[in-house]
Amino acid sequence: MTDTPKDSRRQHSAPVVDGLGKSASRAMLRAVGFTDDDFSKPQVGIASTWSQVTPCNSHIDGLADEARVGADGAGGKGVIFNTITISDGIANGTEGMKYSLVSREVIADSIETVAGCEGFDGLVAIGGCDKNMPGCLIGLARLDRPSVFVYGGTILPGENHTDIVSVFEAVGAHAKGDLDLIDVKHIEETAIPGPGACGGMYTANTMASAIEALGMSLPGSSAQNAVSQAKRDDCAAAGAQVLELLERDIRPSHIMTREAFENAITLVITLGGSTNAVLHLIAMANSVGVALSLDDFTRLGKKVPVLADLRPSGHYMMSELVEIGGIQPLMKMLLDAGLLHGDCLTVTGRTLAENLAGVAPYPDDQRIIAPLDAPLKPESHLRILHGNLAPEGAVAKITGKEGVRFTGTARVFGSEEEAQARINDGTVVAGDVVVIRYEGPRGGPGMREMLTPTSAIMGRGLGDSVALITDGRFSGGSHGFVVGHITPEAFDGGPLALVEDGDEITIDAEADTITVALHEAELERRRAAWQQPAPRYRRGVLAKYARTVSSASTGAVTDLPD
């Protein structure tokens, strides 16, 4: 066998399969379906997050096959491989939730590992849940090969307009005495009708929208129902588009620029998106060498309004936004108002402005997206707070419905489970600031989401009279007066470790501060007496994560450059 002519689209696969010396490689690949012709084609890895672990991803095997067919039809050779996923919705409130944020790093590592080893020239990554989407993007960015991300799509509403958060809040309502067990079970049985990611503007739909605004998904990918012809077509088009990107050598580093990340932040704000977007966008920017910080969210938040009446703080679900056109008309509104960078390159090979040029406006009678001159909130709901409780910053989601200032008395807990028990048994009362500490990236480890306690607070009718602060984080489904990502975290001796029951805490979302009413001398006295707890894990993935993870303010990543 002679060497094949050099093909610029095959920079990574050619060294694996070309020439007599690679006969053994070709022999292995023949056994998985390669033919003689396939060895001369660009190889497109299809990273699938399919599993039966969660409805968010239970349909993605079929979508991965659509992407493979699209790549093959455009002259490539698609090769499907899997990475992991976990379910926040299932694990919430348990020790298992500590693996959630860890899974983002495992997913990124696994995509980089498989593609780097096998020599894929380009990639499609299909994600459908909170952590696997930023995990996919981090992996694609590290590899920097022509790539397209595809969102697995949103779930349809459950009976009576319910969703997963309805179930969590039903448990709290039962604890208060407002729902009997039969009603709770009925909501449990009907709230999740099939495949797709959680239906509000929770973290999955937030990140899908952000990634489309970033330019790494085809137009429309973020606003499609999971079970739909539109989603199947999106996957096939993504597979084919990788061949176009290979031809033009358009890579993630050309798309994921600082201006593109500003577009993503802007869209997240207008949608009223999840606080997790702060963590994930900073981590994604790190993976491509873009310096993004908490200050960027504050800077953009001063000029970008909240426009979307979407759950958890609003009324509508993503499937209803899909019906009126998705996020494309919203992006066109923002572009026309000068709030987006239109010259950013996207995976279509065109600029964002070119992609949006022919987009029609929303129907006149829609009520989901407010006009720019009558926003739901004139500035961002994502507030970056500082103060003597968070010298390096904290993240709050303040829509205005819960007020903008809260002063209360600290009720301190050393774990999520302890706090949850005291919320359910009535120990937590109006006027409390629930403090959940040692749940940060290192202390947890893993920075668990606090959807279970925040839902219990809402379910017990305390959403406007109890605040919750933590060095952990929140689900996109959390709402109420909540502050997370407090840094430095308690495990590292941050001020949160020094708070005691009865301390007065003030959260001010206008001044963007979070403070405890203690003199510095008292904080120093407590700091001198404080001892770092023993690590909760000494072996295994959680221990490795705790040893390598960075602060939440830098994205909680495990590969910060030296």
**Gap between the Cα atoms of 297 and 395, Å rounded:** 10
Chain Cα centroid distance, residue 333: 24
SS3 454: helix
Cβ atoms within 10 Å of 223's Cβ, excluding its own:
25
Q: Determine whether 475 is an active site residue.
A: yes
Reading the block at residue 448, the tokens are: 């668990």
Of 475, 478, 551, 553, which residue is the catalytic one?
Answer: 475
Contact between 484 and 275 (Cβ < 8 Å): yes
Peptide bond connecting 375 to the previous residue in cis, omega within 30 degrees of 0: no
Q: What is the DSSP letter of 255?
A: H
Q: Which helix (H) or strand (E) holds 451?
A: helix 451-459
Instruction: State the DSSP H helix or E strand holding residue 41, giving kind and residue range, or none if neither.
Output: none
Q: How far apart are CA 464 and CA 17, in angstroms?
A: 63
| Number of neighbours of residue 559 by Cβ within 10 angstroms | 16
What would the 3-class secondary structure string for 399-443 be?
CCCCCCEEEEEEEEECCHHHHHHHHHCCCCCCCEEEEECCCCCCC
Angle 186-176-174 from CA coordinates, rounded to 5°:
15
Which uninterrupted H or E stretch holds 123? strand 122-127
Three-class DSSP category at 120: coil
Within a 10 A sphere around the Cβ of 55, how many other Cβ atoms? 22
What are the helix (H) ranges across 195-287? 203-214, 229-248, 252-255, 258-271, 276-287
Q: Which of 267, 329, 276 is nearest to 301 (CA)?
A: 267
Residue 527: in which H helix or E strand, if any?
A: helix 520-529
Residues carrying an active site annotation: 475
